[in-house]
Amino acid sequence: MPLLDALSTYIDAQTALTAATDLFKSFLPESPDACVAIFEYPGMAPRHNFGASSNFRTEHPKFQVICRDVAGEYDLARSQAETIFLLLEKLTETDLSGVRYHSIEALHSPFALEPDAKGRVLVSCSYIAMKATG
């Protein structure tokens, strides 16, 4: 299962967020104002664990979580980002939707981005995962 699907399923099960309602993959829709989006971006090259001919490798995808809320509601967006941060940071040696993740690590703490065109608050955090394949 692709990374964003696994993360969406996990976050949906562990929080009050609901996939395709206020939790989205690869896009931040115009509405609702209060929502969360997960975006994939390039990670590190895969590492072959038992030589170049091995099917066993570790992938290192990176992803970003953006939490949005109405203008002036920084505390709510920040709280949502912190909840997801604490949820993901504790994952080690966990199966998500049938795929083994050795770890998920934040690359930094959640922080505020510039508001969007409608002045809505955006809080973001980026992560790197260590995913087993093969």
Per-residue pLDDT at 12: 98
- Under a CB-based contact definition with an 8 Å cutoff, are residues 74 and 112 in contact? yes
Q: Report d(CA 9, CA 4) in Å as an integer.
A: 8
Q: Residue type for 70, please?
A: V
Phi, psi of 10 (to 5 degrees): -65, -50
Predicted structure pTM score: 0.91
Q: Which two tokens stand for residue 62?
A: 């990176």
Residue 87, class by beta-carbon neighbours within 10 Å (0-12 exposed, 13-18 middle, 19+ buried)?
middle
Please tell me whether residue 34 adopts helix, strand or coil conformation: coil
Q: What is the pLDDT along the chain (134 residues), one digit of tens a residue?
A: 799 999 999 999 999 999 999 999 999 999 999 999 999 999 887 776 655 555 667 889 999 999 999 999 999 999 999 999 999 998 999 999 999 999 999 999 999 999 999 999 999 999 999 998 86
